[in-house]
Amino acid sequence: MMSNKDDVVIVSGVRTPFSKFGGALREIHSTHLGVIVIRESLKRAGLKGEDLDELYYGMCDQAEAALYDNVNGRQALLRAGLPDTLVSLTIDRACCSSLCAVQLGRRSILLGEADTCMAVGAENMSNTPLLINGHRWGQGMKPLLVQDYLNPITYREYTPLGRDAGEIAIEHGISREEQDAWALGSHRKWAAADQAGKFNDELVSVELPPKKGQPVFFTKDELPRPDTTMEALAKLKTIYGSPTVTAGNAPGLDAGATAVIIMRRSRAEEIGVKPLATILSMASSAGEPRRMAELPAKVIGQALQKADLTIDDMDVIEINEAFAAVTLVSTKMLAGGDEAKWRKLLEKTNPNGGAIAIGHPVGASGGRILMTMMYELRRRGGGYGVCGICGGLAQGDACVIRVDGK
């Protein structure tokens, strides 16, 4: 496929390791994680803050920030030492936030309003506060009610997401055992990829508080459990009233950050920056809230149609494992229900493991699946890839890329 000077290309993609709930990153605010990836993504591309025209910052759990620390994109860029004239926008599109950030930057470039944009995603669910509603004005003789809005993961007046995902999986004929098997595979694929050093291109370490006067660095994803077994997964009880979803076939409540820099191809050529991938199309979608598990299939189909490609043209597929049910439902839909085609698509999907193993720091996950897919295609010598992610109340974003052969 011919390149065009107005193509939008990816020139940098970096992330922190992802930490489990209450894990290594629990005391580090997500804004600081954002600062780390902002600086590192610029460094790896050989760029300076002055080269950026716009910054988009995805964050889902904005209760961590509250008023003291809101407009997180603005605060992160200032703390990172970027110019105070740089325009930013903080986005909440649930789990889709950082991939939506890429799309907004791309749109700005295609409209001719920018040449270079950064898309950041950052989250630390360990810092989500417990709430005591009404306490500001006094409770009188009423008992204080402390509420944890992370348990269950749900939205006001809607059923828990895990329950929805399990019910939709059953509708598509996908069993609990199949979901457990996918989860097990996610951990094992992560372990093989980690041992082969496949995440090195995308990772930047995080310096933690020193111990006994010695520096400590967080260098590897914390959530994976490659030693788990089908027997252990089968013993877990279902959660949130779901018929199939357990803590074993779902991701954790995680922390981490991602940054992706995109640029007009002509600008990259002008300043001597090497493109890593070309963005061919992007799409956003939404649907009936309880059918969130189907959204990656829907939005991937839309993105492929825009790129004039099919799912069979893809060499790598990344679908965020919000639950194993999501990946299995969406790939089955993309296969049109054809069992043999479905199994073939699954072989291409999340080849280095997914969010069940790596983690799902919600606002950062869209950027993670994009860069993981991109670096995998580069290791293979090029090809086509599509990534898709669902978000709360049935939202979805997707991106199709091409990596040219070496």
Please give the backbone phi and psi of residue 368, each rounded to the nearest 5 degrees, phi first.
-65, -50
Question: What would the DSSP string read from start to end of 170-233?
Answer: HHTT--HHHHHHHHHHHHHHHHHHHHTTTTTTTB--EEEEEETTEEEEE-S-S---TT--HHHH
In the beta sheet, which residues pair with residue 208? 216
The catalytic residue among 29, 60, 95, 96 is: 95
How high is the pLDDT of residue 1? 59
How high is the pLDDT of residue 256? 97
In angstroms, the CA 296 to CA 394 distance is: 9
What 8-state DSSP symbol labels residue 261?
E
The catalytic residue among 96, 100, 117, 390 is: 390
| CB 389, CB 398: distance < 8 Å | yes
- Structural domains of the chain, with CATH: 8-129+250-401 (3.40.47.10)
The catalytic residue among 32, 360, 387, 399 is: 360
How high is the pLDDT of residue 161? 93
Residue type for position 109: I
* 390 belongs to the catalytic site: yes
How high is the pLDDT of residue 3? 79
Q: Hey, what are 287's tokens?
A: 């649907």
In angstroms, the CA 210 to CA 217 distance is: 9
Residue type for position 376: E
How high is the pLDDT of residue 241? 93
Of 16, 99, 21, 72, nearest in space to 400 by CA? 99
Alpha helices per DSSP H over 245-338? 265-271, 295-306, 324-334
Pairing of β 255-264 and β 383-391: unpaired
Please give the backbone phi and psi of residue 318, each rounded to the nearest 5 degrees, phi first.
-120, 120
* 32 belongs to the catalytic site: no
Residue type for position 385: G
Of 130, 140, 242, 228, nearest in space to 181 by CA? 228
The CA angle 369-293-354, to the nearest 5 degrees, is: 30
In angstroms, the CA 366 to CA 15 distance is: 11
| CB 257, CB 363: distance < 8 Å | no
In angstroms, the CA 93 to CA 45 distance is: 27
* 399 belongs to the catalytic site: no
52-to-102, 111, 190, 264, 289 alpha-carbon distances in Å:
14, 16, 33, 12, 36
Pairing of β 255-264 and β 8-15: antiparallel
In the beta sheet, which residues pair with residue 123? 256
In angstroms, the CA 295 to CA 110 distance is: 26
From first to last of the 406 residues of the chain, give the pLDDT tens digit. Answer: 567 999 999 999 999 999 999 999 998 999 999 999 999 999 999 999 999 999 999 998 877 766 557 889 999 999 999 999 999 999 999 999 999 999 999 999 999 999 999 999 999 999 888 888 777 788 777 888 888 877 777 787 899 999 999 999 999 999 999 999 999 999 999 999 999 999 999 999 999 988 888 989 999 999 999 999 999 999 999 999 999 999 999 998 899 999 999 999 999 999 999 999 999 999 999 999 999 999 999 999 999 999 999 999 999 999 999 999 999 999 999 999 999 999 999 999 999 999 999 999 999 999 999 999 999 999 999 999 999 999 999 999 999 999 998 5
How high is the pLDDT of residue 35? 98
How high is the pLDDT of residue 142? 80
| CB 303, CB 399: distance < 8 Å | yes
Residue type for position 303: A
In angstroms, the CA 240 to CA 116 distance is: 43
In angstroms, the CA 322 to CA 339 distance is: 23
How high is the pLDDT of residue 141? 77
In angstroms, the CA 234 to CA 92 distance is: 35
Please give the backbone phi and psi of residue 371, each rounded to the nearest 5 degrees, phi first.
-75, -35
Model-level pTM? 0.96
In angstroms, the CA 223 to CA 226 distance is: 10
